[in-house]
A and B are shown apart, each in its own frame.
Chain A
C-alpha cells in the first residue's frame, strides 16, 4: 500500500463504544480475583524479609497443624534439574538455597479461608543467615560487590568482568572517535533512572487446580495465557497441553503480566491438597515487592554535534540491574536510544547486572524510556549550548525510509519526519510561557512486535461473526479487531463479537505485548475473515451453478463479479449463514502465523512545566503527544494509549521510584509512598495522531501502546532546565531533588 493512500473506510477510524464497556462500568466484568470454584481453598505466601540471606531451615509443622490448612509447599516440592530461564522462573517463584530479595517467596499455604492461610504463614519458622546485599546498580557492578549468583554470566561476558555482570552487549558502526573530531561540540554526561512499577490497578490473581494425574486448569489475570501455561508447566514439570489456562478480564498489565509469579504456587498447592482449586490474590504490597518492576539504570552518553546541529557521533554505555536474575532490558535501551537519529558513527555498550531486587518484567517499551532519558537530555542540553532549536535539530537528523537504524536494520516506511513536522506546527509549541515556566521536547521510539498468532473466526447461524483471539485485551483491541473484521466482512460493528479465549481453543499465541495485538491479531483476523468470505463466495457460486472465481464479495453479500458471470441477485451473509448446514456445514476462517510486516513507531512530546522555586515542585501545565499510529483503527483508544503512556512517563520522571533502605528492604511498597500521578496532577494530555500507514498491515496499523512512555522522561527534564536553568540527570525529579539542585546552583 503506498504510504499516502487514504482509503475511504466504512468503519475503520470511527469511535464506537467498546464491547467490554458496559460490563466494566457496571462491575460485571470478571477480573482475576472474581473467579471462584466449588471446594476452593485460599493460598497465601510467606516472603523473605531479607534482601539476601541463606535459608538454613524452614519449619512448617506449626502451620500444617493449624486447623483448616490443607497444604504447605516449599521449594522441596518442586522438580529439580531445571536450567536457563526455566530455572530462573522456578527460583523466582520460590526461593531455593537463598532468598534473593525482600519479598522473595519462601513457602506457601492453602487453607479453607484467607484468614487461616495468613495465620498459617505467620506460623512458618525460617532460619536465615543474612548475607551482605546490594540494590544499587552502580554498587552491584563493583568488583567487590556481594555476589548474587556464581556462574550466572553467559557467554557474552568477557573474562575479568565484575561478578554480577551476567550479559554484555557491544555493537555499533563507523568510527566514533573520528566522528567526535568532526564535531564542534562534544559533550558527555552520566544519567540515572530508578526502578518503577507498572502500577496496574488490578493485583495479580489466579485460581489454579491440578490433579494427581497432572491435568490442570487455571483462571488468571494475565496478558498471555500460553506463556502462563508454558512457564507453569516448565516450573512444575507438567505436560503443557494438559494445563488449560483461561485469562480473566484484565485490569492493566503494561508488560508486567507477561510472566509468572505466584501462579505455579496455586497449582502446586492444589495438587498437594488433593486437587482442590486454590486461589491466590496478591496484596498491593506483594505486587510492589515481589512482581516485576523495571530495571534501574546508570548511563553514560557522549555525543558530537556540529554548530549547525548535525550529529557526528554518539557513544552510549549503559548499566542496568533487573533484579537477582538476568534480563534487564539494557539491549533494548541501547537499540532504541539513538534510533530517531541518522548518525554514521555509533557505539553501544551494555551491562546486565544482578542486584538484590525482584526479577524485572517488561514495562511498556522496556528499556527505551531510560535510553531516551539519557540521549534526549544530552541532545537538548547541546541544543541550548549551541543556541539551536531542538525541533530543527531533531528534524535535521531524523531517520527516514531507507536509512540504516542506529542498531543495524534498514528502516522501511516510518513516520518520524511527519511526526516532527506535525509537532512543530502544533499550537502548544508557541503557547506563551511565564516566570518559572519552561518547555521541553523529546522524541521516542519503539520497534513494535508481531509474534506467534493464531486466530479463528466463525460465522454464526444468523450471519454474524465471532472471532476467537489469544491476545488479552489491555488497550481496546477487541473494539479494534471487531472494527477490522466488520469492515472486511461488510457487516455492522455490533455484529462482530471478539472473544479472548483459553489455551484449549487456539494454537499458541504470544501475549499481548510489544504493541502487537491490533497489529498481529488484527492482521490474522482480517486474513481469517477473508478466508470466510472466500468460502461464502464458494457457497453462493455452488448455489448459482457458476464458477467460484466469478463471485465477488461486496457490502456483506456475494454477487456475480460481472454480467458475464450470470444474473443473480446478491446473496447476503445472513442468507448464506442460514443455509450453511445444507450447503457444506459451518463457515469459518483461520489464520496462524508470525505475521510479517511490523511497522516501527516514532513519537514526539512537548511539555510545559512550572517549577516552584521555593519548594522544587514541578507542575505539568501543558502536555502534547504526537505519534505515528500507522492507522488509528479506533482513534479514541489510540489517544488513550498516547495519554496513558505519557502519564506513566510523567510519574517515572517526577515521583515514582523503588526506594530501598540500608537494610535492603523496599521502603515504599504502598501507593501512598510509591507516588503515581493522580488525576489532579495532570492537565488534559493533548494528542495528535499522525498516520503514515504501515504497508505490512491490511489497514496500515503499526501498534501504539509503547512509544508514548518513552519521551516524557527527557521532555520533562528538558522543560525543567528551561524553567530553572538546572539540569536534572537523576530520576525521579522529586521536589526534594529539584530544590537541592536549585540551592546548589545558587551557591
Chain B
C-alpha cells in the first residue's frame, strides 16, 4: 500500500485519478481504518487529506454561511459556539457518531462518503440545504449534499473527485433545525431510523421547511411531501399527522438484524413528529 500526503486538493485529485487498484481517502479514518483492520477494504493507495491547508478550519463565509473543512472532527464542530447556535441540528447529528474517542477524529465528509444510509450527520446536512465543494479533474464545482449518496456504500463521486469543503447556507432569522435517530442503545450504535428537519417561522407559522430521513431507504432521503405538510401550518395536530404520513410514505427500508421494515417506518414517523417540535421551538427562540 502507498500512503500519500498531498498538500492541495488539486494534487489529491490528480493522485486519485492516476492511482491504480483500490484508492481510499483518509480524513478522520474512523471508517477506513476499521475496514482495513477487519480486512473488508485493503486499499492499494491511501491519500491522507487532513494536512491540506484549510482542512481543519471552520470559517464564516461572506454571505453569512459556513465553510467546514473536510478534516474537522465532530468534537471540534461541537465546540464551535457560533456554528452550534446557527445549525444545532447539523451538529447534533454529527455528535451522535461513535464514541467520545471517535468524535476526536470522525468528520462530516467521511460520514457522507462512507455512503451509509444510516449516517447520522447526513440528514441534518440535507435538511440544512448544505452542499459540498468538489475538486475534480475538470475544476471545482458545488453539489447539494443529497446528490452525493448513491446507495449503501456508494456515492456519485467520480474518479478524481475529492470533496474539498462543506458549505452551509446562512441560517438567517427565525430558523431552527434538529435531528434525532432511534437506536436500541443510547450511544455507540447505528441508526435504525433517523430524521432531520430544518424550518423557518414567521410568528407561529412555518414558512420554509426541509425534511430528511435516514436509515429507511438505500440513501438518506429528502422528503418534499413532508415539508409541504409543515409549510403554512403552526405545527398543529393536523400538520403533524400529515407530516408523519408523508414521512412514512417516503420510507422504503429493509428488514434486517437492526429492525424490521415495519418498525423502521413506524419509528421514522415518530421521530419526525418529535424533531419537528424541537426545530419549531428552536426557530421560535424557545430554549431547547
Seen from chain A, the residues whose Cβ lies within 8 Å of a Cβ on chain B are 118, 283, 285, 614-617, 654-655, 659, 667-668, 671-673, 675, 677-678, 680-681, 734-736, 739-740
Contacts and interface: CB of A to CB of B under 8 A. Distances in A.
Interface string B25-50: 00000000000001100000000000
A675 B267 contact: no
A735 B263 CA distance: 9
A313 B258 CA distance: 41
B270 A740 contact: no
Given A678-B186, A734-B184, A739-B266, A283 B258 contact: no
A71 to B, nearest CB: 21
Interface string B252-266: 000011111011001
Contact of B186 (A667, A668, A680, A739): A680
A668 B184 CA distance: 15
22 contacts: A285-B38, A614-B270, A615-B267, A615-B270, A616-B263, A617-B184, A668-B257, A671-B188, A672-B189, A672-B190, A673-B258, A675-B184, A678-B185, A678-B186, A678-B187, A680-B185, A680-B187, A681-B185, A735-B259, A735-B267, A736-B260, A740-B260
Nearest to B37: A283
Contacts of B256: 667
Contacts of A654: 184
Given A615-B267, A617-B182, A736 B259 contact: yes
Contacts of A118: 39
Contacts of A659: 257
A617 B180 CA distance: 14
B266 A735 contact: no
B118 to A, nearest CB: 11
Contact of A735 (B39, B184, B257): B184
A655 B257 contact: no
A78 B8 CA distance: 57
Overall SS of chain A's interface: loop
Contacts of A678: 185-188
Contacts of A677: 185
A671 B267 CA distance: 23
B138 to A, nearest CB: 38
Given A667-B256, A675-B184, A739-B263, 8 more contacts: A614-B270, A672-B189, A673-B190, A673-B257, A675-B185, A681-B186, A735-B182, A736-B263
A464 to B, nearest CB: 41
Contacts of A735: 182, 184, 192, 259, 263, 267
Contacts of A673: 190, 257-258
Contacts of A655: 184-185
Nearest to A680: B186
Nearest to B259: A736
B104 to A, nearest CB: 18
Report the contact-size class of chain B (Cβ under 8 Å from the partner): 20 to 34
A66 B17 CA distance: 32
A671 B186 CA distance: 14
Interface string B176-211: 000000101111111010000000000000000000
Interface in B240-274: 256-260, 262-263, 266-267, 270
Nearest to A660: B257
A125 to B, nearest CB: 18
Contacts of B187: 678, 680
A616 B192 CA distance: 13
Q: Which 6 A-B pairs have the closest CB atoms?
A: A680-B186, A736-B263, A614-B270, A659-B257, A667-B257, A655-B184
A614 B273 CA distance: 11
A740 B185 contact: no
Nearest to B258: A673
Nearest to B262: A740
Interface of B: 38-39, 182, 184-190, 192, 256-260, 262-263, 266-267, 270
B78 to A, nearest CB: 16
A16 to B, nearest CB: 31
Contacts of B39: 118
A283 B257 contact: no
Contacts of B257: 659, 667-668, 673
Contacts of A617: 182, 184
A537 B146 CA distance: 84
A615 B39 CA distance: 35
Contacts of B188: 671-672, 678
A615 B185 contact: no
B251 to A, nearest CB: 15
Nearest to B39: A118
Nearest to A677: B185
A66 to B, nearest CB: 16
Contacts of B184: 617, 654-655, 675, 734-735
B258 to A, nearest CB: 7
Contacts of A285: 38
Taking each of A671, A735, A736, which has the highest tally of chain B beta carbons within 10 Å of its own beta carbon? A736
A131 B254 CA distance: 28
A94 B258 CA distance: 32
Contacts of B186: 678, 680-681
Contacts of A736: 259-260, 263
A735 B181 CA distance: 14
A673 B184 CA distance: 10
B39 to A, nearest CB: 7
Contacts of A668: 257
A626 to B, nearest CB: 26
Contact of B189 (A614, A667, A675, A739): A675
Contacts of B182: 615, 617, 735
Nearest to A678: B188
A482 B266 CA distance: 56
A678 B100 CA distance: 13
Contacts of B192: 735
Contacts of A680: 185-187
Nearest to A659: B257
Taking each of A285, A615, A667, A734, which has the highest tally of chain B beta carbons within 10 Å of its own beta carbon? A615
A668 B257 CA distance: 8
A175 to B, nearest CB: 45
B94 to A, nearest CB: 18
Contacts of A672: 188-190
Nearest to B182: A615
Contacts of B185: 655, 675, 677-678, 680-681
Contact of B38 (A283, A667, A671, A681): A283
A735 B193 CA distance: 12
Contacts of A667: 256-257
Contacts of B262: 740
B245 to A, nearest CB: 15
Contacts of B270: 614-615
Nearest to A667: B257
A740 B38 contact: no
B269 to A, nearest CB: 9
A659 B260 CA distance: 13
A681 B184 CA distance: 9
Taking each of B182, B188, B192, B259, which has the highest tally of chain A beta carbons within 10 Å of its own beta carbon? B188
Taking each of B38, B185, B192, which has the highest tally of chain A beta carbons within 10 Å of its own beta carbon? B185
A199 B229 CA distance: 46
A678 B263 CA distance: 23
B194 to A, nearest CB: 13
A740 B258 contact: no
A123 to B, nearest CB: 14
A175 B257 CA distance: 44
A509 B267 CA distance: 53
A661 to B, nearest CB: 8
A672 B35 CA distance: 14
Taking each of A283, A285, A735, which has the highest tally of chain B beta carbons within 10 Å of its own beta carbon? A735
Nearest to B263: A736
A714 B39 CA distance: 40
Contacts of B259: 735-736
A382 B173 CA distance: 59
Contacts of B266: 614, 739
